[in-house]
Amino acid sequence: MTTTDYATYIAGLPKVLAGAAMLFRDGAGRVLVVEPNYREGWALPGGTIESDEGETPRQAARRETLEEIGLDVRPGALLVVDWVLGTGRPPLVAYVYDGGVLDDAAFGGIRLQEAELLSWKLITREEVPEYLLGSLGLRVRAALDALDAGGGPAELENGRPVQ
């Protein structure tokens, strides 16, 4: 295969989006969520992996968390990997890392990225479906289940565990 043939082959491969997020909790087990200004519903701190820059999912989770909420936290264990089919967009591979339990000082240090976020709050496990829509809510509940089980990562498809 020539270099030109290989480049044509690579250009013709299906596209996949990739994102990474961090799951932060308080001492009561509530989950930190952020309210984006560009779409409906809430989210975990995180975003797109910049693979053109050679960024890994773990690096993206840390960078996005710093950019979005001003906290520079090293990601803990990988909790879930989710393959999410899209309508009107390529499939998404979503990574969720354990951000750990934050204390009051850390929560006091949150500084929102005003260009993208309106607010943040702590929600209970029971409130997850109300704030985190669709497969994201399922993904976060699976991440919490992985933490409760002391393990992970969970493999998901559209937010549901793969059997």
**In the prediction, which pLDDT does 5 show?**
82
In this predicted structure, the answer to whether residue 154 has a pLDDT above a threshold of 80 is yes
Rounded CA-CA distance 130/141 in Å is: 12
Rounded CA-CA distance 143/25 in Å is: 12
Report the range of poorest mean pLDDT among 25-29, 53-57, 58-62, 84-88: 84-88
How distant, in Å, are the alpha carbons of 16, 60, 94, 141 from that of 51?
11, 9, 14, 27
**In the prediction, which pLDDT does 94 show?**
98
- Name the band, by pLDDT with cuts 50, 70 and 90, for residue 98: very high
Residue 130: count of CB within 10 angstroms of its CB: 12
The per-residue pLDDT of the chain, averaged, comes to 94
**In the prediction, which pLDDT does 105 show?**
94
**In the prediction, which pLDDT does 109 show?**
95
Q: How much is the average pLDDT of 39-51?
A: 94
- Name the band, by pLDDT with cuts 50, 70 and 90, for residue 137: very high
**In the prediction, which pLDDT does 118 show?**
97
- Burial (CB < 10 A; 0-12, 13-18, 19+), residue 151, is exposed
CA neighbours closer than 13 Å in the CB half-sphere of residue 71: 25
At the fourth CATH level, the homologous superfamily of domain 15-161 is Nucleoside Triphosphate Pyrophosphohydrolase (3.90.79.10)
Tokens of 105: 């000082």
Q: How much is the average pLDDT of 100-115?
A: 95
Rounded CA-CA distance 128/104 in Å is: 22
Q: How much is the average pLDDT of 81-100?
A: 94
Instruction: List, for residues 68-79, the tens digit of each pLDDT value.
Output: 999 999 999 999
In this predicted structure, the answer to whether residue 14 has a pLDDT above a threshold of 90 is no
How distant, in Å, are the alpha carbons of 25, 81, 110, 112 from that of 52?
31, 21, 29, 26
Predicted structure pTM score? 0.92
Provide the residue ranges of all domains of the chain, joining segments of one domain with +: 15-161
